[in-house]
Structure 1
Amino acid sequence: MVEDKGKQVVVDIESVEDWLSHAQSLVPLALDKSRDVKGFPGRWKMIISKLEQIPSRLSDLSSHPCFSKNALCKEQLQAVSKTLKEVIELADLCVSEKYGGKLRMQSDLDALCAKLDLNLRDCGLLIKTGVLGEATLPISVPGSSTEPEAATHSNTKELLARLQIGHLEAKHRALDTLVEVMKEDEKTVLSVLGRSNISALVQLLTATSPRIREKTVTVICSLAESGSCENWLVSEGVLPPLIRLVESGSAVGKEKATISLQRLSMSEETARAIVGHGGVRPLIEICRTGDSVSQAAAACTLKNISSVPEVRQNLAEEGIVKVMINLLDCGILLGSKEYAAECLQNLTASNENLKRAVISEGGIRSLLAYLDGPLPQESAVGALRNLVSLVTIEMLISYAFLPRLVHVLKSGSPGAQQAAASAICRVSTSTEVKKLIGEAGCIPLLIKLLEAKSNSVREVSAQALSSLVSLSQNCREVKRDDKSVPNLVQLLDPSPQNTAKKYAVSCLASLSSSKKCKKLMISYGAIGYLKKLTEMDIPGSKKLLERLERGKLRSLFTRK
């Protein structure tokens, strides 16, 4: 060592071999001194048993091929030497009985035991982590011919190992560096990350220091969002500490923990586990009281969880219905509202009790109000589709349901348009409702949707029309629309991918009472399609084919 006035260490000039020799020479002295102590026999017996393990650990460490090239080895030997000196000092105090008090000495000996445990554990971990497999290079080596990428990988691997080795403050420093490294080069960290590193990070989530927990969850959030190590995170037990941070962490801790759960909950198995670990209640609380980012992340997490049918009742028991409806009305970010709508769509997919709960909490009014935006999304319309069969038409009319459906059919996303057409199918159960739907202006929009790129949109639009045309005034409106017959004939395509053909046949059968429509059907090639559909036993195709062929025959005789 080179020292400045005997106080501050400036440079450590001793080699790793020197430190090994120093530590090895201290072990027998520490053992002899410990065996001379008469007081505190239980504690000194434990200390002696740990001291006896040190030589083999030092031997394992020194026999590694990269022992002399790795900075961590030298630091570990320095830590062991420091602990051994403390053993000698405390043994001398106990032998001479010159200590400040029995309780204080007991506390000092307990702390010494913990340090010896840490030294033994860290020596083993140094080899297990694999960090000694590569020579650790300094961050900047003037004139070095080593590949920069290899040096970066080696430094990153050492940094990750430091999360597992040493006392808490050393881990804190390593964590600070890791946060900065991940900001600059997350890809390199991910490329060398191992399961043991994940385990070390998860353990740091429960550190007593709030600052360490906050920085750790920041790293874990980045790892979760990367999508490369979700399984490791979950299997190493990340969920319980994340949920505790959502419940009682700092503002940053809550936000990062919630975002982590958002990503992890995309797995159905993990979504179930979050429920099992009691994560629903704190997530619901974040939806009630959190800031904008945390609220959106919590809503998305709950939406992901709600996609698992068997946990929906658990969610309902924690009050999720009311919270999601409130988010739909008052969510800070548009994303929060969308997640709330998706969650309500999931909750109302099959469970009748949950459907009634959403209705009784005023969910229909909130969902309809959410549709007033410029681009209505599928989720809200899908939730309404799930609910309409349990609500009277009078209530729907009082909530301006039909004008909202028209808005969705005109301006909604393809998924929203499909859900709107599906909702029409579900409410078209009476002549009165069919009349109201026709008068609201839905029919031309459904005819236009027969041209949609999506087969499922075309199918449900044809299905809605096939129900509506059973009312004569709706049928007349369809006949008047120039696009109705050509669009429906196109849906007679016999290919397996076209699932709208049976509804197209039904619609065209209703229109075939019109000579004009029959001529149009024939001119657009309906007979050729219907012959194939008849062979496929599509309901109504044979009867419609016969009607068109009779009309074609009559027209031939008329021309003669």
Structure 2
Amino acid sequence: MQDKEYSLKQLSELIDTRENAFSAVGSHSQAVPVLVSLLRSGSLNVKIQAATVLGSLCKENELRVKVLLGGCIPPLLGLLKSSSEEGQVAAAKTIFAVSQGDAKDHVGSKIFSTEGVVPVLWEQLQKGLKSGSVVDSLLTGALKNLYSSTERFWNSTIQAGGVDILLKLLTTGQSSTLANVCFLLACMMMEDAAFCSKVLTADATKQLLKLLGPGNDAPVRAEAAGALKSLSAQCQDARKEIANCNGIPALINATIAPSKEFMQGEYAQAIQENAMCALANISGGLSYVISSLGQSLESCSSPTQTADTLGALASALMIYDDKAESTRASDPLAVEQTLLEQFKPRSPFLVQERTIEALASLYGNPILSLKLANSDAKRLLVGLITMAANEVQDELLKALLTLSNSECSLWRALQGREGVQLLISLLGLSSEQQQECAVALLCLLSNENDESKWAITAAGGIPPLVQILESGSAKAKEDSATILRNLCDHSEDIRACVESADAVPALLWLLKNGSPNGKEIAAKTLNHLIHKSDTATISQLTALLTSDLPESKVYVLDALRSMLSVVSLSDLLREGSAANDAINTMIKLLSSTKEETQAKSASALSGIFETRKDLRESNVAVKTLRSAMKLLNIESGSILVESSRCLAAIFLSIKENKEVAANASDALSSLVALASSSDLEVAELATCAVANLFLDSEIAENAVAEEVILPATRVLREGTKSGKTHAAAAIARLLHSRQVDYA
């Protein structure tokens, strides 16, 4: 037995210290069965070591399930009930580890329920084991893990007197246990409001309020706030009790604690949100809290009190949601005005800081910000103010106040070119967040004001914007690309400046690797930027069409369409040239296995043929025609629309390209059939293709009049303006080609 104990101890140490040892044990088919066997029948020390090793294996979920299925629960419960303190601790640790599944762990849920784990855990907590807080913490932690997924959890908890046990632990438990106790109390009160009366009778409200204080660990404070949130949500008497116990100031202090105490992470956020929700429950809704805090700013007797009130208001504005809006809507204009009034001459720094925090919450709230003018610009200005140096802060604060207190544009609020120069100065040696805000503000400016585009160019903004395209955050890259597109669209001179700054390679990278939104922006920017053929760029775009990335070729095809619309015809027709390879690749993609790619290839090709008469008269048009005609039999609305559009573009020069005319007659019957489609868009584009097909009078003469006129009449009646024009053209060309019986 001593050898087994020693070996297990060594194994446990190896698993904890060496990754390869953990993997080796976990992958061994007999590891779990042997360990469970030792846990069942070994000596006490062997059982303890076996439990420890099994607990260590549970760090990986797949192994945790294997341990659970290996039959570990009965012997672990037996070890937990033993008189050995060390055995109790080892068993509790492994039960805690093996219970860390989620709501989807249906097998685990069934096992815990079948083996009666929950009643045993409550029983052991009731007894008050010698090992005290360590086991209490582990067992309450296991119960916390099990509450949402285990069958009959609540029935077992009620029968075991779970609330009474938790209320006792609330006053006697150690810090590591208290967070779990508060969490479980909160869940039980939300499960059944009847539990609230027990909490009130036990005078637990004062204890929960006490646990909110700064002398407690962050998890304890967060869960205590959560328990008060549940208590106040479920019981009207509890709201009065909390208020009578001086709970409102305690909850306000809890909402501002993360800011005052420089707390970060999930518990800091939970403290704020839970405490504010409890305040909202007591006050009759979050809007009442916001209104009350705003009004109390007028009566604050010290800068510290003002700052604390502003901090609480920031928390309330942060969590304001649809539920709060439907209960009683807040007036964001009134809140904004109240906050802006806090910017007084010689106002203490702390008050200014808290005011900016509250404004950030207001402008960042997706519901409240909708009712405010220029909320995006204000949110970005506030973001920059929080990060900028003092001198820059003052300028940005002036802009924010101007934008908020008068109905002016962002351009005027930033004092025009001076503001642009200030923002461009923040693009270089700044943090990623600061850079992101500055680029976003420049993007807003370039969207709304033409003067800003020359101001950005004159202030040397193009090189740093191109640099951000290469090294900025995803959002900054997208905004930078949008600005460059706006600049190119505004002036040919500016476009040439952007082109000379080597923006194309960076835009191609974004086109390949960016988010869907980034790819779209990059494609649009390339379309505005490239006004002449560029062999290297065309080659790179063609390579993207045949590579794994980007998965969607939509935006690459957009960019290629733009480039091939301006390349010389000789380049397009010369075999082996970049342009010839590109257009042949686009034609091949008409046979892609992906519907999206087929439809977009047809759309891009139609865009090229619509603008290029010379290409319509070449053999490229014939090759495209043959591939596009095959798409007319595919049952996909988007493919039928785009293939019809592509054919319509090619048929514009049917009289000049005899080879097109020779092949096109085979498409007539399919297009006429599609013109009768129940999908009006398909019918319109098919009718357009028929109209252009009838530019060849010989094809028009061979058409059956009734088959064309009836669907064309429907398009005339129900279609868009463009559809009606083409339907009329189809009928006119048909009539022109023959004598028609008008009877």
TM over 0.5: yes
Matched, 1:444 2:444: no
State the distance in 2 between where 1:215 and 1:419 align: 47
Alignment equivalent of 1:197, drawn from 330, 335, 352: 335
Are residues 171 and 403 of structure 1, via their aligned partners in 2, closer, same or farther at CA, if it must alter by over 3 Å?
same
Structure 1 residue aligned with 2:605: 461
Q: How far, CA to CA, are the matches of 1:405 and 1:475 in structure 2? A: 20
| 1:325 equivalent among 466, 486, 501 | 466
Deviation sequence 1:144-197 (CA, Å, 0-9, x none): xx9845376444322111334445333212112223444555675993345443
2:432 pairs with 1:297: no
CA contact (8 A) 1:300 1:339 kept: yes
Partner of 2:314: 179
Query: In structure 2, do the counterparts of structure 1 residues 421 and 369 end up closer, same or farther at CA, with 3 Å as the change threshold?
Result: closer
Is residue 2:571 matched to residue 1:432?
A: yes
Helix, strand or coil at the partner of 2:426: helix
Cα offset for 1:432? 1.4
In structure 2, C-alpha distance between the alignment counterparts of 1:324 and 1:512, rounded to whole Å: 50
> Structure 2 unaligned runs (5+)?
1-239, 246-279, 677-682, 705-743
Aligned to 2:699: 547
Match of 1:349 among 476, 479, 489: 489
Q: How many residues align?
A: 401
**Alpha-carbon separation, structure 1, partners of 2:374 and 2:638:** 50
Deviates more, 1:307-316 or 1:274-283: 274-283
How far is 1:328 from its partner? 0.7
| One-letter amino acid matched to 1:191 | A
Specify the alignment match of 2:16 in structure 1. Answer: none
Name the residue aligned to 1:360: 500
**Native 8 Å contact 1:303 1:340 kept in 2:** yes
Match of 2:155 in 1: none
For the 8 Å contact 2:527–2:559, the answer to whether it is kept is: yes
- AA in 2 matched with 1:198: E
SS in 1 for 2:489: coil
Residue in structure 2 matching 1:140, options 224, 232, 243 = 243
Distance 1:161 1:245, change over 3 A: same
Which protein has greater RCO, CA pairs closer than 8 Å, 6+ apart?
1
Which amino acid is the alignment partner of residue 177 of structure 1? A
Q: 1:313 corresponds to which letter in structure 2?
A: W
Q: Which amino acid aligns with 1:368?
A: L
1:506 is aligned, of 636, 642, 652, to: 652
C-alpha contact 1:421 1:461 (8 A) present in aligned 2: no
Q: Evaluate the alpha carbon distance shift between residue 230 and residue 406 of structure 1 in structure 2; reply closer, same or farther with a 3 A threshold.
A: same
Query: What does residue 315 of structure 1 align with?
Result: 456
Give 1:306's aligned residue: 446
Classify the secondary structure of the residue corresponding to 1:204.
coil
Task: State yes or no: 1:474 paired with 2:474.
Answer: no
Q: Which residue is equivalent to 1:79? A: none
In 2, the alpha carbon distance for the partners of 1:183 and 1:243 equals: 15
2:421 aligns to what? 281
Tell me: CA distance 1:339–1:155, structure 2 relative to 1, closer, same or farther (3 Å): closer
Q: Matches of 1:434 and 1:141 in 2, distance apart?
A: 87
Q: Does 1:340 find its partner at 2:492?
A: no
1:371 Cα offset (Å):
2.9
CA distance in 2 between counterparts of 1:490 and 1:544 reads 28
Select between 322-331 and 512-521 the one with higher mean Cα deviation.
512-521
Q: What does residue 150 of structure 1 align with?
A: 284
Change (3 A) 1:138 1:545: farther
User: Matches of 1:340 and 1:274 in 2, distance apart?
Assistant: 22
> Take 1:409 and 1:532, find their aligned partners in 2: how far apart are those partners?
34
Given residue 659 of structure 2, which amino acid in structure 1 is its aligned partner? S
Contact 1:522 1:548 in 2 (8 A): no
- Measured in 2, the distance between the counterparts of 1:428 and 1:246 equals 49
Per-residue displacement from partner, 1:114-164 (whole Å, max 9, x unpaired)? xxxxxxxxxxxxxxxxxxxxxxx997247xxx9845376444322111334
* Pair 1:269–1:548, CA change in 2 (3 A): farther
Query: Compared with structure 1, are the counterparts of its residues 535 and 503 closer, same or farther at alpha carbon in structure 2 (3 Å cutoff)?
Result: closer
Alignment match of 2:359 (pick from 210, 220, 236) = 220
Map of 2:237 onto structure 1: none
In the alignment, the residues of structure 2 paired with residue 449 and residue 309 of structure 1 have an alpha-carbon distance, to the nearest angstrom, of: 44
* Cα separation, 2, equivalents of 1:548 and 1:164: 83
1:265-318 C-alpha deviation (Å, 9 max, x unpaired): 9xx974434543643333323322222223223222222222225132222222
- The residue that corresponds to 1:380 in the other structure is 522
1:385 Cα offset (Å): 1.3
Question: What is the TM-score with the length of structure 2 in the denominator?
Answer: 0.44
- The change in CA–CA distance for 1:473 and 1:456 in structure 2 (over 3 A counts) is closer
Shift of 1:225: 1.9
- Structure 2 partner of 1:159: 293
Relative to structure 1, is the Cα distance of residues 194 and 329 closer, same or farther in structure 2, using a 3 angstrom cutoff? closer
Residue type at the aligned position of 1:312: K
Query: Is 1:169 aligned to residue 304 of structure 2?
Result: yes
Q: Structure 1 residues 239 and 409, CA, compared in 2 at 3 Å: closer, same or farther?
A: closer
> How many Å apart are 1:499 and its aligned residue?
7.0
- Deviation of 1:336 (Å): 1.8
Residues 247-274 of structure 1 show CA distances to partners (whole Å, capped at 9, x for unaligned) of 84479x98xx89x98xx99xx9744345
- Compared CA separation, residues 219 and 426, structure 1 to 2 (3 A): farther
Residue identity in the other structure for 1:214: E
> Would the aligned equivalents of 1:347 and 1:355 in 2 still touch at CA under 8 Å?
yes
Give the 3 Å change call, closer, same or farther, for CA 149–239 of structure 1 in structure 2. closer
Give the Cα separation in 2 of the matches to 1:401 and 1:501: 24
Residues 283 and 302 in structure 1, CA contact (< 8 A), matched pair in contact too:
yes
Percent sequence identity over matched residues? 15
- The normalised TM-score by structure 1 is 0.56
Partner of 1:108: none
Q: Distance in 2 between matches of 1:445 and 1:527?
A: 25
Change (3 A) 1:438 1:362: same
User: In 1, Cα distance between the equivalents of 2:466 and 2:590?
Assistant: 30
Q: Structure 1's 418 and 481: CA in aligned 2 closer, same or farther, altered over 3 A?
A: closer
> Do the aligned partners of residues 519 and 288 (structure 1) sit closer, same or farther apart at CA in structure 2, a change above 3 Å counting?
same
Q: Shift of the alpha carbon at 1:226?
A: 1.9
How far is 1:324 from its partner?
1.0
- For residue 616 of structure 2, give the secondary structure of its aligned residue in structure 1: coil
